[in-house]
Structure 1
Amino acid sequence: MAKRSDTLETVLLAVELLRRIPRCRKVTASELHQQLKHAGMERELRTIQRQLEMLSEHFEIERDDSSKPYGYRWLEQAKALAVPNLTPQESVLLQLAEEHLKNLLPPRLMKSMDAFFSQARRNLGPESSARLEREWPGKVRVVATSQPLLPPKIVPGVFEAVSEALYSNHWLHIEYKNAGGKRTSADVMPLGLVQQGSRLYLVCRYQGFDNERNLALHRIAAAEVSTLTFDRPKTFDLKRYDDDGRFGFGEGEKVRLAFRIERSAGLHLMESPLSTDQQVVERKDGQLEITATVIDSSMLEWWLRGFGEAVTDIKKLPANINKN
């Protein structure tokens, strides 16, 4: 019975290694050892080395032994490890997921999914019979709710370093240039990565401080992952941080907002309310009188100003005031 268990463990390890060996570059046994460790598979380095030697003999894997440490990669024309039983529906889901997750996952996690994404693309290729599934990505689209902007350029290597430090709970050393052009060096504790429109922001704490700050990734001139780890603060919650309006340039303060708006301009608020406690009164003069509990922020101000003269009589009262 023990022998069966050992055999299964060997097979599972071989499959994981085959999935993680790349095509575009060589990977060492030490790198794969760390990848498996992060994935919860604790194995001795020597065990992985022996497995790689065996796999390179039986699969189309190039072993570069010209210098140590040895490097491994799939040959360019190799089929690599096929992902079985991926249906056309699963393929179209993965194709959409790849597009929308590429800026929200560490590059090495995305690379670990390469076999799935490649199989999905093959399944939906021009030679496949999955015509309806192949057409689906051209039938759906996420559109902007404001003037579309091209994403700002991020210095090469910054996103990789930031996402790796965030993923592994390592301190991050950065060179940061603010909007005024002032450049500073700092060690930060990465806590979250947020995409807002075309921009990416790092939520972090500066060393020696216990408050959070948002840093635009395109303003980070350089980033280096430290060898030092940290314990993620139990009091920090990225969803709550967002709910408090921190990306609307607010301080988390709730107010009871009241305003009047022309019906034609405010009709969409009856379909998509500002809050769960929103109240709407239709006035005889054709205007809508709206009250709702919201986070007070600069974004709220910009939103209200966007209506111009269609919005009048704006009031902000404490959120705990009697609503009746």
Structure 2
Amino acid sequence: MFQYLGVAARHSPPYPLYIVHVFGEPMSQTLLRHLCMLREIPRSPRSIDCQTLQSRLAQQGYEVTVRSIQRDLNSLSSVLPLISDGAKRQGWSWMADGGEVGLMGMDAHEAMTLKLVQGQLAQLLPTATLEHLQPYFTQADRILAQRGGKFAHWPDKVRVLPKGQPLLAPQVSPEVQSAVYEALLGDCQLDIEYMRRDATEPKRYLAHPVALVLRGQVSYLLCMLRDYEDISQLVLHRIKSARLIDAPARKADGFNLDAYISQGKLGFAHGGQVRLEAEFHEHAVQTLMETPLSEDQELIPATLGTSGRNMRWLLTATVNDTGELETWLNGFGKLCLRWRKVPLGQAANN
């Protein structure tokens, strides 16, 4: 038979790892059936009844009676954080704060990875998904505290900083964020109130969500408004209210998020692609070589100084014509001596 090892007192969470082990014999069909059954049980407040478990086990090739399932769950609940709702058609769940969320242990590598991504995921995932992941984050904290070793302090030694002036994130209503994410997830319409720039009152729109883009500290909802086909960009913190509508959102024909971004649509575009020609002082050249503007960037010595060194360099690159490009150029200060943007058609004729 098998035993569940490493189990603390049932009513003293957080629970340690629950490890299934077989002594003296190969893994039995009973054990395999128990593993399949436990994987089907959701975390509270959701639940699953024994009849549904019986059907799902049958789909996986395990024929078992409802009474046997009830007996197994009553036995397993004495060593695992399983609870029943006491209903006539008894429903079973993993405890909401039951510690370990899987039947396989989490190691220090996995715990460290979860801690590093936890902060980033808050802006990327729907609220319901984050709530579903919370037990994993809790388990990661415990693993690092108990047996993280050299990994325990890694999250304190690594930071990701944005380039440029650090800015505080704008305040986004949790209700708005939840509604927007759920609409994107379910391809549903949204009834929103949006405060446009320089407006004094929010305006109401029917929105068809298409995508979400995080750019620095600001989140942009790409959507189609009302019956229009063009893509609008709405910043999330200016959405004053958002309500899910139980109706399918319209699809943006031929829309590709990566292509949309690569075309500079989120970079305060002034036009299409241009050929940038810029002259830089030699002190800027190493940066330009290490982090090029484009795949076709070229750096050519322009003038020699009295010492024989190349004092000025000419840069050419194909780039999107955006406000960010001009900000980048101005950021070099006196090291960027002059620059101009040539439309691609004109550049090809020269």
Same fold (TM over 0.5): yes
AA matched with 1:112: H
Q: 1:149 to 1:73 in 2, by over 3 A?
A: same
From 138, 144, 151, give the equivalent of 1:133: 151
Are 2:280 and 2:312, in contact at CA under 8 Å, matched by a contact in 1?
yes
Structure 2 residue aligned with 1:222: 241
Q: How far apart in 2 are the matches of 1:207 and 1:156?
A: 24
Q: 1:263 to 1:9 in 2, by over 3 A?
A: farther
Q: TM-score, normalised by structure 1?
A: 0.77
Kindly indicate whether residue 200 of structure 2 is the aligned counterpart of residue 175 of structure 1. no
Q: 1:303 to 1:56 in 2, by over 3 A?
A: farther
Q: How far apart in 1 are the matches of 2:258 and 2:174?
A: 28
Q: How far apart in 1 are the matches of 2:291 and 2:349?
A: 20
In the TM superposition, what whole-angstrom CA distance separates every residue of 1:223-280 from its partner, at most 9, and x where no partner exists? 1111001353341111111111122111661000101112223431111110000010
Are 1:245 and 1:251, in contact at CA under 8 Å, matched by a contact in 2?
no
Moved more, 154-163 or 242-251: 242-251
Are 1:255 and 1:318, in contact at CA under 8 Å, matched by a contact in 2?
yes
The runs of 5 or more residues in structure 2 that have no matched partner are 1-28, 53-68, 306-310
Structure 2 residue aligned with 1:42: none
AA matched with 1:99: G
Alignment of 1:1-324 (within 5 A): 12=36, 15-18=39-42, 21-22=43-44, 26-27=45-46, 58=77, 60-61=82-83, 63=85, 74=95, 78-79=98-99, 81-125=101-145, 127-128=146-147, 130-181=148-199, 182-230=201-249, 232-250=251-269, 253-283=272-302, 284-285=304-305, 286-320=311-345, 321-322=347-348
The runs of 5 or more residues in structure 1 that have no matched partner are 34-50
Question: Could you say what the CA RMSD is over the residues aligned between the two structures, in angstroms?
Answer: 3.4
Q: How far apart in 1 are the matches of 2:230 and 2:283?
A: 42
Q: CA deviation at 1:13?
A: 6.5
Q: CA deviation at 1:56?
A: 9.2
Q: How far apart in 1 are the matches of 2:243 and 2:195?
A: 15
Q: 1:313 to 1:72 in 2, by over 3 A?
A: same
Q: CA deviation at 1:218?
A: 0.6
Percent identity between the two aligned chains? 30
Structure 1 residue aligned with 2:18: none
Q: How far apart in 2 are the matches of 1:116 and 1:267?
A: 43
Q: How far apart in 1 are the matches of 2:207 and 2:34?
A: 40
Are 1:250 and 1:296, in contact at CA under 8 Å, matched by a contact in 2?
yes
Q: 1:282 to 1:157 in 2, by over 3 A?
A: same
Are 2:212 and 2:221, in contact at CA under 8 Å, matched by a contact in 1?
yes
Any idea what SS the aligned residue of 1:157 has? Answer: helix
Q: 1:228 to 1:282 in 2, by over 3 A?
A: same
Q: 1:72 to 1:64 in 2, by over 3 A?
A: farther
Q: How far apart in 1 are the matches of 2:154 and 2:261?
A: 32
Are 1:62 and 1:74, in contact at CA under 8 Å, matched by a contact in 2?
no
Q: 1:193 to 1:55 in 2, by over 3 A?
A: farther
Q: How far apart in 2 are the matches of 1:55 and 1:208?
A: 53
Q: How far apart in 1 are the matches of 2:96 and 2:161?
A: 40
AA matched with 2:291: S
Any idea what SS the aligned residue of 1:267 has? Answer: helix
In the TM superposition, what whole-angstrom CA distance separates every residue of 1:106-132 from its partner, at most 9, and x where no partner exists? 12122222333222222111x32x221
